Structure 1
Amino acid sequence: MNSLTILVPTRGRPDNLAALWQAFAETCTGETRLQAWVDDDDPQLEAYEQVHRAAYDDGSAREDDPRFLLMVGPRLRLGPTLNIAAPNAADWADAVGFMGDDHRPKTPGWDTRYMAALERLGTGIVYGNDLIQGRALPTQMAMTSDIIKATGHIVPPGAIHLWLDNAWLALGEALGAITYLPDVVVEHQHPIAGKAQWDAGYAECNTDAVSTADRQVFEQWRQQDLPRWVEQVRRYSRV
């Protein structure tokens, strides 16, 4: 188990993506790709393209070894974008994960540590210390690709933005296959911790309406679909 793809849907924050790629370039030691997903109506689309080009111009990414991919498509919001992106990524990567554009891996070799943990699990989920939620929630994570292949999803269908990390935790616990690495730091630079400024993106997704709707999706999924997902994964992976 070697290859890892981290999916990063992003909107209106090209500087965040540039900083995230720099963190990847400085800390990744394995066969790891950052696959950024940008909306085709994003007012900052040209700036995102410049960030991507700059990575190849400065040599931190190479054409013969594309570790930094920029995908452009219609705006679907976070959850639906992940569910579109993940099955394709799972076809050619051993593991697929998620980070927000406001996560910053700080521990050198974090990706190799993730893959070693997944190798030990065989099938499962791993996450590090985001310095806000810690063990309580996997605000970033990686899962073995067989989970996505078995279920067809990486998050519960219908979820917009919130309660996704709760679903990953619930799935990992239901499978009996989730590992937390407290000494692997993937810092979440979120306004809730005073590590970023509130902007239009944060304001749009952190509303009572979105939280209520996404919690309803999560609760329905946990009660009705989670047992089926677990069975599908066990049948697919023979675990």
Structure 2
Amino acid sequence: MPDVDLLFIVPSRGRPHNIAALHDAWAATTTGVSGLLVAADDDDPALPGYEQVCGERGIELTVGPRLRMVPTLNKVAVEHAPHHFAVGFLGDDHRPRTLGFDAHYLAALRTLGTGWVYGNDLLAGERLPTQWAQTSDIVQVLGAMVPAPVKHLWADNQVYDLGHAVSRIRYLPDVVVEHCHPLAGKADDDARYREVNAADASEADRLVYAHWYEHDMPADIAKLRALIGEAA
């Protein structure tokens, strides 16, 4: 990976065409301060497509066992956080639209010193960070980007909760990173969406999040307050 201040991690499965579209949008808006790293599964039938798309476009590709989206994000983030000022998450269905979106993210993070930033996804808006970037010291202190071990859902809620608990999160309403999701009528409801939004999968992630919120979030907040030099 080139020496960039902000590394966006993109876990993906079954959608190499989405990586091509994401890269088009990112390349049209980046200022050169960020990079993309795609994380694919070694058992994905579409893996050759990822290898082709990433190879042709010079996108870094990491391949490993299928862990599901959030565990994969956490694993890759922990590996790369020491080498970048900040790491971020983009879904393969996000599309940066604002020129210099990554520079805006970095500027906000440098002002915060330690914290999170997210833009306007034209779907959830300020309510939830469906995409975000955070300073790498948070990953190193918590041992994860997303501390509760959900598979896919309720990750954005954790970012929102922690960021507001320590007053170190910033929403940039004029920085658009569009979420091209079926809920917005901007993507087909494919097998991946159906898998993660199935009632049993959704409920399992909700319960994991709820347990973390009640039992483990206070300890994570204390770690963050110690990091930023606040009293617990």
If the length of structure 1 is used for normalisation, what is the TM-score? Answer: 0.92
Q: Secondary structure at the match of 1:41?
A: coil
Whole-angstrom CA distance in 2 between matches of 1:44 and 1:135: 34
**Aligned match of 2:181 in 186, 190, 201?**
190
Whole-angstrom CA distance in 1 between matches of 2:161 and 2:228: 19
Q: Secondary structure at the match of 1:11?
A: coil
**Pairing 1:28–2:27 present:** no
Contact 2:123-2:184 at 8 Å conserved across structures: yes
Stretches of structure 2 that go unaligned for 5 or more consecutive residues are none
**Aligned match of 1:119 in 110, 113, 122?**
110
Contact 1:80-1:157 at 8 Å conserved across structures: no
Contact 1:83-1:157 at 8 Å conserved across structures: no
Contact 1:104-1:189 at 8 Å conserved across structures: yes
State the match for 1:211 in structure 2: 202
Contact 2:119-2:171 at 8 Å conserved across structures: yes
Whole-angstrom CA distance in 2 between matches of 1:224 and 1:145: 24
| CA deviation map 1:33-92 (0-9, x unaligned) | 111000001111111111012114xxxxxxxxxxx2100110000111111111112110
**Aligned match of 1:103 in 78, 89, 94?**
94
Q: Alignment RMSD, CA only? A: 1.1
The residue correspondences of 1:5-44 to structure 2 (distance < 5 A) are: 5-44=7-46
Of residues 94-103 and 153-162 in structure 1, the stretch that sits farther from structure 2 once superposed is 153-162
Q: Secondary structure at the match of 1:139?
A: coil
State the match for 2:152 in structure 1: 161
**Aligned match of 2:143 in 143, 148, 152?**
152
Contact 1:80-1:158 at 8 Å conserved across structures: yes
Shift of 1:237: 3.9
Whole-angstrom CA distance in 2 between matches of 1:109 and 1:50: 27
Contact 1:146-1:233 at 8 Å conserved across structures: no
Q: Secondary structure at the match of 1:159?
A: coil
Contact 2:115-2:169 at 8 Å conserved across structures: yes
Contact 2:10-2:38 at 8 Å conserved across structures: yes
Q: Which amino acid aligns with 1:238?
A: G
Shift of 1:238: 2.7
| CA deviation map 1:128-180 (0-9, x unaligned) | 00000000000000011111111101113420100111111001011111100
State the match for 2:72 in structure 1: 81
Identity %: 52
- Size of the alignment, in residue pairs? 227
**Aligned match of 1:222 in 203, 208, 213?**
213
Stretches of structure 1 that go unaligned for 5 or more consecutive residues are 57-67
